[in-house]
């Protein structure tokens, strides 16, 4: 299993948000490491708890940030966040009811969120901020 390496491609140039995005990389890597060490139950418990805390804190922070800078696409971006929170809650419930496939889907979604959402969707407000600052 290969751990995820933080790269410049993931950086938005907004220190606090980059730090929070880096935390997602660390969470995924911790999950993979615990699994590889044979601690499946702990890995799953930590991942679900950490991801839930992360979503609650990070997405709220990001939404407030977009509002503060006057990003015109804030409402659309919030809808994407709501969709992710809803999907997380549904998959977590499926997993807790015994559907192990739901966990794989959550991990895959967190991984794609990292590379797709940050590099494409979040990049839009970072670019907006750069332009605004001149």
The answer as to whether 49 is a domain residue is yes
Average pLDDT estimate for 66-88: 94
14-61 pLDDT, tens digit each: 999 999 999 989 999 999 999 999 998 899 999 999 989 998 899 999
If one counts the domains in the chain, the total is: 1
- Tell whether 2 is covered by a domain: no
Residue 3 has what pLDDT? Answer: 87
**Domain contains 112:** yes
Q: Is the pTM of this model over 0.75?
A: yes
Give the domain extent around 84: 27-133
Report yes or no on 103 lying in a domain.
yes
Instruction: Give just the sign of the alpha carbon dihedral 65, 69, 75, 80.
Output: negative
Tokens of 4: 């995820």
Q: What is the CATH number of the domain that holds 114?
A: 1.20.120.50
CA distances in angstroms from 110 to 19, 20, 27, 102, listed in the order given: 17, 14, 10, 12
Note whether residue 56 is domain-resident.
yes
> According to the model, what pLDDT value does residue 79 have?
95
């Amino acid at each position: 299993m290969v751990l995820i390496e933080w790269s410049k491609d993931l950086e938005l140039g907004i220190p606090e948000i980059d730090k929070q995005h880096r935390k997602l990389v660390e969470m995924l890597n911790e999950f993979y490491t615990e699994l590889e060490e044979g601690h499946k139950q702990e890995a799953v418990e930590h991942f679900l708890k950490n991801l839930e805390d992360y979503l609650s804190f990070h997405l709220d922070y990001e939404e407030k940030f977009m509002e503060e800078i006057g990003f015109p696409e804030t409402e659309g971006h919030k809808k994407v966040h709501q969709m992710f929170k809803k999907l997380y809650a549904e998959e977590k419930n499926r997993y807790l009811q015994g559907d192990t496939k739901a966990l794989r889907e959550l991990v895959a979604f967190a991984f794609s969120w990292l590379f797709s959402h940050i590099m494409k969707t979040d990049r839009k407000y970072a670019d907006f901020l750069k332009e605004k600052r001149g």
